[in-house]
A and B are shown apart, each in its own frame.
Chain A
Amino acid sequence: MRGMIKFTKIRYLMFLISILVIVGGIVGTIRNGGYNLGIDFEAGLNQRVQIAPVAFTVDFTGVGDASMDMQNGVISVDIRSDKGVSNYSFPLADYPTLSDLKNGLIAIPGFGMSLLVPDNSLSGKLTSGLNFPLEVTVDPSFVNIIGEESASVAIDKIRAALAPLGNPQVQVVGNPVLSEFMVRVSDPDGTKKDELEVSIVKNLESVFGNNTVVVLQSDYVGPRFSSSLASQSISLTLTALVLVLIYIWFRFKLGFAVSAITALFHDVLIMLGFIGAFRMEVSTTTIAAVLTIIGYSLNDTIVVFDRIRENQVLLKGDRLDNIINISITQSLSRTIITSLTTLLAVLALYFFGSGSIKDFALNLIVGIVVGTYSSIFIASPILLGWSNAARKRKVNKTGAITGSTGLKLVEEKEDSENITRRTSIPEVERKRKGKRRNKK
């Protein structure tokens, strides 16, 4: 026995719930001070660092100011004093090991050097960062060397060390043996550059040891999404919606199109509210999730609408709210099975994935639940409201019920028993009509 569940009966309650959820999302987002934008959308700091052990320290106790630089495989030392500048140069090709280099450097009057790695380490592996040229003073300055292959640092360790900075993006640069990494931290206002630079180094040094972090490059980068790209995506999304609206209008009726698009806005608003209220990071994956839900929700709504359209022909003369309820009931098993299977896949992503995949899955779970809910409780009732309003306008105009579309005006007064009563669909008629349709 097939029946119908009176979904439309509780439509005002559902509208109220939806509005409350949407308002709650907006309020929550505002209270959180807007969205938690990820590095895809924010400007930030790009810092290239290398983890390298200290090779040696140098100090200068002589007269004047000493500085040491390393460029193109040549170490040069300048000593400026009242007497002028004396310049020493050590091509690393001529000083292949660190002990050779040491012998060369300590020959400079006042210059001291103490090795912290084996004597025979290759001088060609020395590395220099933004701190070069080094000011060499009485206090020892540090010079780093690329570590042994076996000691190369795994990227996971860098990620773990930088986790306190809000999980910045970390990438290996070049050959992994070099332990060179690109770190990207978001800094929307660009005011914290110096602070961030220092804290990246500090966080890394707390794990890898003092003076082992060489900053190779530090630059301010703009967001991946420029404002022109953002406005392009908004205008394209709106274009897409208008085209979808026209298609549904063409294939169904205007009322269906408006209801489907309204339900879509409803879903997107709830999702965006959820993301904002729970301060989930907004990344490109978030956009992908929202777009997926737009597709999913449209799909879901159209399937129900299709059934309504079909039943309007089969149950000609029946009241629209009945037709809608019968249609939703008939497609209910499909709606539930589809949502369940999709949820199954997404739940697996949520429970077994991590990081951005987990966030993506959570967004989708919310979207699927909301999308399914809206195609049952929001889209079809809006369609009912739209038709009723259209009919009332018509009645007011002509003063009579014309029934040109075969729909009867829904009376606002309904039997209270109707809530629990299940009206049976005239099956014989359906069968007959189905056959007639098939013969056509």
Chain B
Amino acid sequence: MSKRARLLVVLIVLVAGGIFLYPTFNWYYMVPQDQKDLAAGSKEQIQSYSRGKASRDLTELKSLVSKDQNSAVPEKFSFLIDKAKENYKLEKTQMPKNWTIAEVLNSLGSEKSVFGSLENHYRQHLLDLKESSGKILQLGLDLSGGMSILLEADIESLEKRLGHPATPEDQNQAIDRAMEILNNRIDKFGVTEPQIRRQGSSQIAIEIPGAADPERVNTFLMGKGSLNFHIVDQEASQKLATFMDEHPGEVYAEDGSIKKMDFLDAGSVIRGYYKKDEYGIDQLQRYVVVSEEIGLDGGHIQEAVVANHPVTGKPVINFTLDSEGGDIFFKLTTANEGKTLAVLLDNKVKSMAVINEPIRERVQMSGFDREEATNLALILRTAALPVDLKINNQQAVGASLGEDSVKQGLRAITLGFLLVIVFMLVYYLGSGFIADIALMLNLVFILAILSAFNLTLTLTSIAGIILTVGMAVDANVIIFERIKEEYRLGKSAEASIAAGFKKAFWTIVDANITTFIAALVLTQMASGPIQGFANTLAVGIVSSMFTALFVARLLFDFSTEQLKAKKLSIAWRI
């Protein structure tokens, strides 16, 4: 590979590393704490915050206008100017030269649309933050705490499934199995290093690192059984709609739930049809009547993948049923050809489709947003929970390590790293400088890859990284010692470098691959500290091989070819 091509590769890797590290850097160093707290809140909380903030801003803007029509737009509302510019572009009219407040508000239209622009701005900001918080290097439970959730097993649901009263042994088995499945699932949802413990006889205590966002937990607990297919009674649905229009006062019970309607058949129930709004909150569209009997249980789903609908581009879930499920579904769709089938998740109607022809195995469902579709597909792929779990209590918990010991640990780790850097510089002089650049890049790459995979950083894994860096020194040492040997034999600087790298290549590759194999096998562990450690190690090995064999070589070649260095600066005494 030519030097230019190699330089290009290094630059591309560097840029990619920067892109992956940026959200993490931004989150920990740029975003103020109150914004982080807001973004960690539920979607409902974000909604009420955005609306509140927008209405306060609107009042402020109105008072500003009433004071002085021509005052400049304050800095914090500058985003409104962009919005106004967009509107002008759409209407293709001449833009004003000076953006006064009155001008901006006018161009935005009615008060309602100004409010909309404001709300949209805050909502988007927080939702973006929320999304980016899922893409960063998470700090582990030991360093920054997280959320603790206490789950209670619903023994009734277990007995229902077993068909007889649960003995303590049944209970034990069910909870052990549930813990295993949770461990698996949490891992699949990209949360690393959770702590899952059994508590008392029928409870499971989970601690996960990161923000205390209640919505995150709900997805782990979704049961396969919560997804079901029902046949829609179109006629009754129509009747219900007419009745609701005519007698709006007689629809709801005192607690806000919908009343049981007399005119409905015994075997049918009313369910809400929901769609997600801009916040991702389920909004009720209307009510439909579906048969109470489950047409097909989601437990029969064997394989589920998320794809895009070829026409609408919206996410759909393609799934395959097991053979028993296929038979049931075929019978169901044959008997109900021409009728509508509803997909219900946790008793909410998510989508409806007319059955055009009998279907046996492969089915497609729509009506989910991407996040929901991905989560659902994950749940459908993992095993079903043997017992329903209810959230008993959830709260934020602080770091399990003392602030002092975290600080001390971090200081020690930095010091250790600096010592290695200085040692290399003192022992290998100019070549040590090259090794140091390679080491620092190595550190950046490791952190970038860990952020890209949204892995969790615990104090142990930080120490592990430093150790990987320490071991990455080894690759440099092997190369340098080889170069020295060649140089002592009287070869030129260039030839010694070439021979040194060549001879060291397989040594380094063999030594690293053996460790890499071990690391790779251990990443197959169920989620936990060992897996986290193995991930870090595997990433570290790849990155240190790249920096030692590729980056350092490039730097050496640069020093001999571009800087015309005739002598090697690699030891005090050759």
What residues make up the interface of A, taking CB atoms closer than 8 Å to B?
40, 46, 155-156, 159, 169-176, 182, 219-226, 228-229, 232-233, 236-237, 239-241, 243-244, 247-248, 251, 260, 284-285, 287-288, 291-292, 294-296, 298-299, 302-303, 306-307, 310, 330-331, 333-334, 337-338, 340-342, 344-349, 351-357, 360-361, 364, 427, 431, 434, 438
Contact call B518/A240, Cβ cutoff below 8 A: yes
A contact residues around B528 at 8 Å (CB)? 224-225, 229, 284
A contact residues around B461 at 8 Å (CB)? 288
User: What 1/0 mask marks residues of chain B from 454 to 491 whose CB sits below 8 Å from any chain A CB?
Assistant: 00000111011011011101100110010001000100
Contact call A353/B511, Cβ cutoff below 8 A: no
**Interface residue? B395 (CB, 8 A):** yes
Please judge, given known A-B contacts A295-B518, A360-B460, whether A172 and B530 are in contact too, CB under 8 Å. no
Give B489's nearest chain A residue, CB to CB. A431
A contact residues around B145 at 8 Å (CB)? 171-172
**Interface residue? B384 (CB, 8 A):** no
Contact call A295/B519, Cβ cutoff below 8 A: yes
Q: Please report the C-alpha to C-alpha distance between residue A340 and residue B420 in the assembled complex, in whole angstroms.
A: 9
**Interface residue? B190 (CB, 8 A):** no
Give B201's nearest chain A residue, CB to CB. A220
A contact residues around B460 at 8 Å (CB)? 284-285, 288, 356, 360
Please judge, given known A-B contacts A224-B197, A355-B402, whether A342 and B522 are in contact too, CB under 8 Å. no
B contact residues around A299 at 8 Å (CB)? 471, 474, 511-512, 514-515
Contact call A295/B197, Cβ cutoff below 8 A: no
**Distance of A432 from chain B, by nearest CB (Å):** 11
Contact call A345/B467, Cβ cutoff below 8 A: yes
Residue in A40, A243, A357 whose CB lies within 8 Å of B408: A357
A contact residues around B473 at 8 Å (CB)? 338, 341-342
5 interchain pairs (CB within 8 A)?
A155-B402, A221-B205, A292-B467, A342-B471, A364-B467
User: What 1/0 mask marks residues of chain B from 145 to 178 whose CB sits below 8 Å from any chain A CB?
Assistant: 1001000000000000000000000000000100
**Interface residue? B198 (CB, 8 A):** yes
Give A343's nearest chain B residue, CB to CB. B470
Q: Please report the C-alpha to C-alpha distance between residue A112 and residue B528 in the assembled complex, in whole angstroms.
A: 54
B contact residues around A233 at 8 Å (CB)? 522, 525, 530
Please judge, given known A-B contacts A156-B404, A182-B148, whether A341 and B420 are in contact too, CB under 8 Å. yes
**Interface residue? B9 (CB, 8 A):** no
**Interface residue? B510 (CB, 8 A):** yes
Which of B94-102, B322-330, B337-345, B409-417 has 4 or more CB atoms under 8 Å from chain A?
B409-417
**Interface residue? B419 (CB, 8 A):** yes
**Distance of B380 from chain A, by nearest CB (Å):** 24
Residue in B396, B404, B412, B415 whose CB lies within 8 Å of A174: B396
Q: Give the size of the chain B interface in residues (CB under 8 angstroms).
A: 80
Q: Please report the C-alpha to C-alpha distance between residue A228 and residue B183 in the assembled complex, in whole angstroms.
A: 12
A contact residues around B203 at 8 Å (CB)? 219
A contact residues around B58 at 8 Å (CB)? none
Residue in A169, A219, A354, A434 whose CB lies within 8 Å of B409: A354
Give B540's nearest chain A residue, CB to CB. A295
Question: Could you list 6 further interchain pairs (A-B, Cβ under 8 angstroms) beyond the known A171-B397, A288-B461, A295-B519?
Answer: A221-B200, A226-B176, A229-B528, A354-B408, A357-B412, A361-B412
**Distance of A280 from chain B, by nearest CB (Å):** 15
Contact call B459/A306, Cβ cutoff below 8 A: no
Please judge, given known A-B contacts A156-B402, A156-B403, whether A172 and B397 are in contact too, CB under 8 Å. yes
Interface residues of B in 503-526 (CB under 8 A from A): 503, 506-507, 510-515, 517-519, 521-522, 524-526
Q: Please report the C-alpha to C-alpha distance between residue A127 and residue B400 in the assembled complex, in whole angstroms.
A: 24
Contact call A219/B398, Cβ cutoff below 8 A: no
Contact call A357/B409, Cβ cutoff below 8 A: yes
Give B523's nearest chain A residue, CB to CB. A236
A contact residues around B272 at 8 Å (CB)? none
**Interface residue? B427 (CB, 8 A):** yes
**Distance of B37 from chain A, by nearest CB (Å):** 11
**Interface residue? B429 (CB, 8 A):** no
**Distance of B80 from chain A, by nearest CB (Å):** 35
**Interface residue? B196 (CB, 8 A):** yes
